[in-house]
Amino acid sequence: LRDKAPLHYDAKLKAHVLSRYEDVAFVLKNHALFSSTKIRIAGKLQEERASVKELGSVSNLVSMDPPVHTRLRGLVSRSFTPKQINAMEPRVRELSRELVAEMTSRSEFDFMDALASPLPVTIIAEMLGIDPVRRRDFKRWSDNLIQSNNATLQSGETPEEVIRSAKEMLAYMTEVAEARRREPRGDLISLLVQEIDGVAALTPPEVNSFTTLLLIAGNETTTNLLGNALTALIRNPGEYEAFRRDPSPAACSAICEETLRYDSPVIGLFRRTTQEVEMSGGKLPADTSVMVLLASANHDPRKFPEPERFDPTRDTHGLMSFGHGIHFCLGAPLSRLEAPVALRELMERAPRLGFSPRQPQDIDYGGSFFLRGPKSL
């Protein structure tokens, strides 16, 4: 695609697909030409998904353009400052240690179930201030929401169970938001519903759509990053051995950054043209869907030499895995904290992991066309 068809029309997605680093960056930077609103995937409007309607979240941060996006991004950014994220390190370490200890008490385990998946969802639940007795429900709701996101995108249908989860979660989050408005605590929801330094609070529907977005955007992605990192290490014994000799925090971060580039947890993003645009030797009509392939941008040799080599010592500056421009991932600092900390705990307790003989040669990636990570490992 990058060499022969940098502007490729995919009939099934009904979208123009861009794969070169420069083109991907151009699209994401020019949000006035490439809107995040009214996105159509395979001809279907994203807002038409049942689970989204049930949640009352007609629109959320990722599907907004300025100036609406600017206001909301400003509001929620105050709960994701580097200071707040860094303060979570001891808790992330403690939880990682517990999960790794539990996992490695068995000789064979599913890394995804035992560590990669529970770590981010528990941290988000704690950040939001979800009552510990509701954590199990919360995990079920978020699993269902993520599943719905994948299932709906592929089949266009939303399972009953998912709609029920969406309703339950909406009721619970509305209750929590109301309680925190009356009596704030030190959690994220309290921050979102309070007026701080003259900056208005989020409205109840905004709180709901934002917490849903955090669940979808923040969980499976970090889970995938961890699964992809372990896969890359096991498949590259030389790099695994070098990491074993130096499992320093810097080395843990380097493994995660190179994994983000080499095996991007988010494969691509969608936009819609607001006018006719000329690029890569072709023309994009106005009001058409565009898919930018982040994973391909990360493998463009024009930007990253020898892209098919997993090399944790390389310069990964400019990787596209968290997007680019005004929608750049809000949770990047959080996953850049969680994944290296989890890897370090893993290296301390279990420095020599390998695939079980029961692990299929071809890892099951679940078949989503926009998220990528092992279903089990």
Q: What does the binding site for ligand HEM look like in residue numbers (CB under 6 A)? A: 36, 61-62, 73, 124, 213-214, 217-218, 221-222, 225, 265-266, 269, 321-323, 327, 329-331, 334-335
For the chain, helix (H) and strand (E) counts, in that order, are 16, 9
Q: How far is the CB of 74 from ligand HEM (least distance, A)?
A: 10
46 or 104, CB closer to ligand HEM?
A: 46
**Measured from the CB of residue 107, what is the shortest distance to ligand HEM in angstroms?**
29
Beta carbon nearer to ligand HEM, 221 or 231:
221
**Of 31 and 104, CB closest to ligand HEM:** 31
Burial class (CB in 10 A: 0-12, 13-18, 19+), 149: buried
Shortest distance, CB of residue 302 to ligand HEM, whole angstroms?
A: 20
Least separation in angstroms between residue 123's CB and ligand HEM is 8
Please give the backbone phi and psi of residue 290, each rounded to the nearest 5 degrees, phi first: -125, 135
Cα-based torsion angle of the residue sequence 368, 370, 371, 375 in order, rounded to the nearest 10 degrees: 10
The backbone torsions φ and ψ at residue 115, rounded to the nearest 5 degrees and listed phi first, read -135, -55
**Helices 220-235 + 204-218 axis angle, to 10:** 10
CB of 338 to ligand HEM, least distance (A): 7
3-class SS of residue 266: strand
Peptide bond into 67 cis (omega under 30): yes
Taking CA atoms, 331 is separated from 24, 279, 327, in Å, by 21, 31, 11
Burial (CB count within 10 angstroms: exposed 0-12, middle 13-18, buried 19+), residue 95: buried
For ligand HEM, the closer CB: 243 or 322: 322
Residue number closest to ligand HEM, CB atom: 331
Please, what is the minimum distance in Å from the beta carbon of residue 193 to ligand HEM? 17
Rounded Cα distance between 259 and 233, Å, is 9
Question: For residues 19 and 321, which CB has a smaller minimum distance to ligand HEM in the complex?
Answer: 321
Contacts of 304 (CB under 8 A, 6+ apart): 261, 298, 314, 316
Output the smallest distance, CB 202 to ligand HEM, in A.
13
Alpha carbons within 13 angstroms on the beta-carbon side of residue 34 total 27
**Nearest residue (CB) to ligand HEM, 61 versus 112:** 61
Nearest to 362 by CA among 348, 347, 351, 377: 377
Q: Which residues pair with 16 in a beta bridge?
A: 9, 290
- Judged by CB, which is closer to ligand HEM: 51, or 228? 228
Please say which residue, 279 or 337, places its beta carbon nearer to ligand HEM. 337
Residue 9 bridge partners (DSSP):
16
Nearer to ligand HEM (CB atom), residue 325 or residue 351: 325
Question: Measured from the CB of residue 245, what is the shortest distance to ligand HEM in angstroms?
Answer: 26
CB of 225 to ligand HEM, least distance (A): 4
